[in-house]
């Protein structure tokens, strides 16, 4: 289960259910909570060099393990089951939520997702079909602006990966690239998860206690997703009738050690810091470090797939072109496989007996 931290947890959990040995591959500099959780569930853990953005090192280890027939590799960055699932499940869920909460005159105006494996981006593909005016944005770290500026680097927005374009990203369907400063997400992690920060939210901003509690559901990448939505809303000058959707990919439970590290680095959090963080890192967000993608921009981003997937991973250039030109109905064919896969999943669950034992 090659991952930058979240996917391998789901994979290790599934392996445990099936009585198989799960192997989680993730960067060594991910949060300690992830490693603790994986060890507790009995996964074999392989820590590759580097931080969040060192995805190539994960791929290198994956290719090494492929040579051993005992391993079955599920690479989320290239497996078409990933966009198939998010298109049919996450996309439908977001549409259902909007339809349940919308007021008269509301419109589903936009959706933003940090790149990661780009699986969640395919939820936007379904939303754009149902709401044709909807703008779809992809987020990444400003410290590693691969999509925005063909750049590179390391960053602290755990869970989103970088320095490559996932094979499964339908780039042609993406309207905007948005870079988030990892300092914004770190500061807000403290605002949402310290007593001093929560006191400011409750007693100065007068936020509903239920909302303040839910803000702890935002992990670092979830915070980055929300910041992408704010920047998109400001860029397009959305009104209070325009709804922008995203997902919370994990909660702050996976980052308690990061909060302590920030406290150790900067000292105990204070109410004044909470006020500054709210004003600077939420209200003060600007429309810098983003781009509305033209046709040429999208093709530029798509071309970056060549270096990772054809040169390094041995994929066929014909298949790369098929993803762009869609001459073989590639994306529609992937999305349409859900019914057949559901039947196979049901048959597998029946034969394995896993569900009966839960």
Please check the confidence at residue 6 and state whether its pLDDT lies above 70: yes
Q: Pick the more confident residue, 357 or 79.
A: 79
Distance CA(327)–CA(110), nearest Å, equals 27
298 sits in which H/E element: helix 295-303
> To the nearest whole number, what is the mean pLDDT of the chain?
93
Concatenated DSSP letters for 299-330? HHHHHTHIIIIIIIT---HHHHHHHHH-TT-H
pLDDT band at 162 (very low <50, low <70, confident <90, very high): confident
3-state DSSP call for residue 66? helix
Pairing relation of β-strands 44-48 and 107-114? Answer: unpaired
Among 32, 223, 6, which Cα is nearest to 116's? 6
Mean pLDDT, rounded, for 48-64? 87
pLDDT at site 161: 64
Q: In the numeric block, which tokens belong to residue 197?
A: 């920060």
Q: Which domains does the chain have, with CATH numbers?
A: 7-66 (3.40.50.1100), 94-292 (3.40.50.1100)
Q: Model-level pTM greater than 0.85? A: yes
pLDDT at site 31: 86
Among 147, 114, 140, 112, which Cα is nearest to 127's? 112
Concatenated DSSP letters for 78-126? T-THHHHHIIIIIHHHHHHHHHHHPPTT-EEEEEEEE-TTSTTHHHHHH
Mean pLDDT, rounded, for 57-73? 91
**Percentage, residues of the chain above pLDDT 90:** 75
Mean pLDDT, rounded, for 301-330? 92
Please check the confidence at residue 160 and state whether its pLDDT lies above 90: no
How far is CA 279 from each of CA 191, 214, 272, rounded to the nearest angstrom? 11, 20, 11
pLDDT tens profile 284-314:
999 999 999 999 999 999 999 999 999 999 9
Place of tokens 């780009």: 118
**Edge-to-edge strand list for the sheet holding 290-292:** 242-245, 107-114, 135-141, 176-180, 290-292
3-state DSSP call for residue 244? strand
pLDDT at site 122: 96
């Amino acid at each position: 289960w090659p991952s930058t931290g979240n996917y391998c947890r789901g994979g290790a959990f599934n392996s445990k259910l099936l009585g198989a040995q799960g192997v989680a591959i993730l960067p060594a500099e991910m949060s300690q909570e992830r490693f603790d959780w994986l060890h507790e569930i009995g996964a074999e853990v392989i820590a590759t060099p580097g931080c969040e953005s060192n995805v190539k090192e994960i791929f290198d280890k994956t290719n090494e393990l492929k040579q051993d027939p005992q391993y079955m590799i599920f690479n989320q960055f290239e497996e078409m089951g990933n966009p198939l699932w998010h298109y049919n499940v996450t996309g439908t869920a977001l549409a259902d939520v909007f339809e349940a909460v919308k007021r008269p005159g509301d419109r589903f105006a936009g959706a933003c997702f940090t790149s990661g494996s780009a699986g969640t981006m395919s939820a936007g593909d379904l939303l754009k079909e149902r709401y044709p005016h909807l703008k779809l944005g992809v987020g990444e770290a400003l410290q590693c602006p691969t999509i925005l500026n063909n750049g590179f680097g390391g960053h602290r927005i755990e869970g989103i990966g970088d320095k490559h374009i996932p094979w499964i990203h339908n780039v042609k369907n993406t309207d905007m690239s948005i870079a988030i400063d990892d300092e914004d997400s770190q500061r807000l992690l403290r605002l949402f998860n310290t007593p001093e920060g929560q006191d400011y939210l409750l007693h100065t901003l007068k936020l509903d206690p239920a909302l303040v509690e839910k803000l702890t559901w935002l992990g670092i990448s979830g915070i980055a997703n929300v910041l992408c939505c704010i920047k998109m809303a400001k860029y397009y000058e959305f009104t209070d009738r325009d709804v922008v959707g995203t997902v919370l990919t994990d909660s702050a439970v996976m980052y308690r050690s990061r909060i302590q590290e920030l406290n150790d680095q900067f000292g105990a959090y204070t109410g004044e810091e909470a006020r500054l963080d709210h004003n600077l890192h939420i209200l003060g967000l600007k429309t810098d470090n983003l781009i509305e993608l033209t046709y040429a921009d999208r093709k530029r981003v798509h071309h970056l797939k060549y270096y990772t997937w054809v040169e390094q991973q041995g994929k066929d250039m014909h298949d790369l072109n098929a993803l762009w030109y869609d001459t073989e109905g590639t994306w529609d064919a992937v999305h349409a496989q859900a019914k057949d896969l559901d039947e196979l999943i049901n048959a597998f669950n029946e034969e394995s007996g896993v569900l009966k034992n839960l």
